Amino acid sequence: MPTLLSGRRIFAAVAVALTIGGLLTPQIFSQTRLTGNDAVVAIAARSTFPNYKTTLKALSDMGTRQMIDSIPTESNTIAVAWLVRELGAMGYATTIFGTYRSVYCTKIGSRAPDSMYILCAHLDGVGGFSGNCDDDASGTALVVEAARAFAGAAVSTRCSIRFFLTNGHEAGYKGAIEYRDNRHDLQGKENPPGSRQFPEPVWLGLINQDLILYDHGNPAGPVQIPQASIRVNYCPWSYAESSLYMAQQFIAIDKVIFVGYPAVIPAGGGGLGAFDAGQFANYCPVISPEEGGGDAGYIANPLHHDDADTYETYSEADFALAFSAVQREVGEMAFLTQTTITGNTPAKSEPPVANAAPLSSSWSLLTRQHELTISASSRGTHTVKLSSLDGTPIMRRIGQGRMSYSLRTESVGAGLYVVTINADGNVMQKSVVIAR
Ligand SMILES: [Zn+2]
């Protein structure tokens, strides 16, 4: 496979995109520190589909993870210890909080460590023999993989992000309420004074993930429906404007990374009633992404609180829906915290470029079941390339004018890939999740 572009031409193209888009800072030229949309793409690429599935399976295989009021079952104790180990291995200092043994760790902001976004899910499940895979290993694994994406000194966030796994949720939101009631008065207080340490940064917003695997329609069929989506519940009665903004950003991440599934904001905000997010709604802006944007959400899920809610029950398409939420959430956090990343770009051979529409050409991506279509329009010739994150080429096409290129995705496999288009001398790049 010949090299598509020399390094010099890439930089020339970047300069064009910069002028047109006006989105990037000149720091991209150093290729050492990515900012803006480039950082969003790079951070999202650090959360991988295989890692998500591995974490999800590990949690689900632990069993119920149930808490009986404040008494943890053995599988709950195992889950707490596992989380402490897993998050600790990423370099986080981890806290087991309160009577209900919720778990949290924090990415400390470089500029504003006194404020934070909270990313949460509940680690405990209900009784029976279930793995509580959807409810809520799916959300817990999202938080773990988001923590992994932001881990390490190469990643810098302006404010802090707290990765928070509540416990005792199924006993009545106990861990969430305990945390809220014990810590809301501590917000923004420096302790010890003069230390620049803020044990409880100000709550800028909370994103709760609960049940994100399953959209088989309503009534539910045997397989994922073609229009499967994530609904983004937000709070319409308190911090409504900010909550809606967070929901809109969850969706707007599509402009930067293509996650393969749509997300929708339900009319009236949806419902927060059965989620930990509802416990924080009067304290900060909240959203609660949930499976099933086009139907009744988890209410339409026959596996909810059912013994069949195990890892083995779900398909690759189900996992991919959840992973689209992972990508959205990581991307949104990168956006909201003005994340920068040093080195480690998603496509090593070509720096990512903002999705700025050039003057003489355009392109779009469309995924349907088993098919990815890339449309490109150019005055002169264009090159369309699909590659894996390490740069391995999968498809390369050269054309002229208005063209559409379709690819059967079974031959590629589920995962995160990079589409690069060179049209009329402009390089555009976008990551794409091939889900099924
Ligand atoms: Zn739940």
Q: How far is the CA of 225 from the centre of ligand 1 (A)?
A: 22
How far does residue 403's CA lie from ligand 1's centre (Å)?
A: 45
Per-residue pLDDT reduced to its tens digit, 314-368: 999 999 999 999 999 999 999 999 999 986 444 333 333 333 333 345 666 665 5
Mean pLDDT of all residues in the chain?
84
Residue 420 token pair: 């690069």
CA of 363 to the centre of ligand 1 (A): 39
The DSSP output letter for 97 is: E
Please calculate the CA angle 144-146-150 and round it to the nearest 5 degrees: 115
Q: What is the largest CA-CA distance in the chain?
A: 68
What confidence tier does 378 reach under pLDDT thresholds 50, 70, 90?
A: confident
Going from the Cα of 139 to the center of ligand 1, the distance in angstroms, rounded, reads 8
Q: Residue 6: pLDDT above 80?
A: no
- How far, in Å, from the CA of 276 to the mean position of ligand 1? 8
Contact 148, 155 (CB under 8 A): no
The percent of residues above 90 in pLDDT, for the chain, comes to 61
Tokens of 404: 């559409």
DSSP state of 148: H
- How far does residue 292's CA lie from ligand 1's centre (Å)? 14
Calculate how far, in angstroms, residue 46's C-alpha sits from the geometric centre of ligand 1. 26
**369 pLDDT tier (thresholds 50, 70, 90):** low
Give the separation between CA 35 and CA 40, rounded to whole angstroms: 8
Question: Which strands, in side-by-side order, build the sheet including 230-234?
Answer: 95-97, 102-107, 159-166, 112-122, 202-208, 286-291, 230-234, 263-264
Residues 174 and 152 sit within 8 Å (Cβ to Cβ): no
| 8 Å CB contact between 212 and 137 | no
- Kindly provide the b/e burial profile for residues 199-225, where b requires at least 16 CB atoms within 10 angstroms of the residue's own CB: ebbbbbbbbbbbbbbbbbbeebeeebb
Ligand 1 mean position, distance from CA 204 (Å): 23
What are the residues facing 116 on neighbouring strands? 160, 203
* pLDDT value for 398: 87
Cβ-contact 352, 253 below 8 angstroms: no
CA of residue 137 to ligand 1 center, whole Å: 9
- Altogether, the residues listed in the chain come to a count of 436
Task: State the pLDDT confidence band at 373, using cuts at 50, 70 and 90.
Answer: confident
Report pLDDT for 364.
66
What does the alpha-carbon distance between residue 162 and residue 206 come to, in Å, rounded to a whole number? 9
CA of 338 to the centre of ligand 1 (A): 30
Q: How far is the CA of 88 from the centre of ligand 1 (A)?
A: 25
Lowest mean pLDDT among 127-136, 271-280, 315-324, 408-417: 408-417
Query: In 285-408, which residue ranges form alpha helices assigned H by DSSP?
Result: 316-336
Distance 122 CA to ligand 1 centre (A): 7
**How many Å lie between the centroid of ligand 1 and the Cα of residue 120?**
11
- CA of 182 from ligand 1 middle (Å) equals 22
Domains and CATH numbers, the chain: 7-27+356-434 (2.60.40.3080), 43-342 (3.40.630.10)
Beta strands in 92-227 (DSSP E): 95-97, 102-107, 112-122, 155-156, 159-166, 202-208
Indicate the SS3 state at residue 275.
coil
Confidence (pTM): 0.76
- Cα of 283 to ligand 1 centre, how many Å? 21
Q: Could you tell me which residues come within 8 angstroms of residue 33 by beta carbon, excluding any fewer than 6 positions away?
A: 27, 340, 341, 342
Cα(408)–Cα(397) distance, rounded to whole angstroms?
15
Pairing verdict, β 71-72 and 95-97: unpaired
Per-residue model confidence (pLDDT) at position 345: 46
Return the closest-CA partner of residue 1 out of 387, 264, 433, 297. 387
Q: If you count DSSP H runs as helices and E runs as strands, how many of each does the chain have, helices first?
A: 9, 19
Determine the distance separating the centroid of ligand 1 and the alpha carbon of 59, expressed in angstroms: 14
Q: What does the block give as tokens for 97? A: 């909080």
DSSP assignment string, 214-232: ---TTTT-SS--TT--EEE
Distance 211 CA to ligand 1 centre (A): 6
CA of 251 relative to ligand 1 center, distance in Å? 22
Q: Give distance in angstroms: CA of 153 to centre of ligand 1.
A: 33
Give distance in angstroms: CA of 136 to centre of ligand 1. Answer: 5
The 3-state DSSP class for residue 235 equals: coil
List pLDDT tens digits, range 293-326. Answer: 887 788 889 999 999 999 999 999 999 999 999 9
Residue 364 Cα to ligand 1 middle (Å)? 36
Ligand 1 is an ion; its neighbours by CB within 5 Å are 135-136, 210
**Residue-wise pLDDT tens digits, 230-283:** 999 999 999 999 999 999 999 999 888 888 899 999 988 988 888 999 999 999
Distance 126 CA to ligand 1 centre (A): 9
128 vs 369, more confident = 128
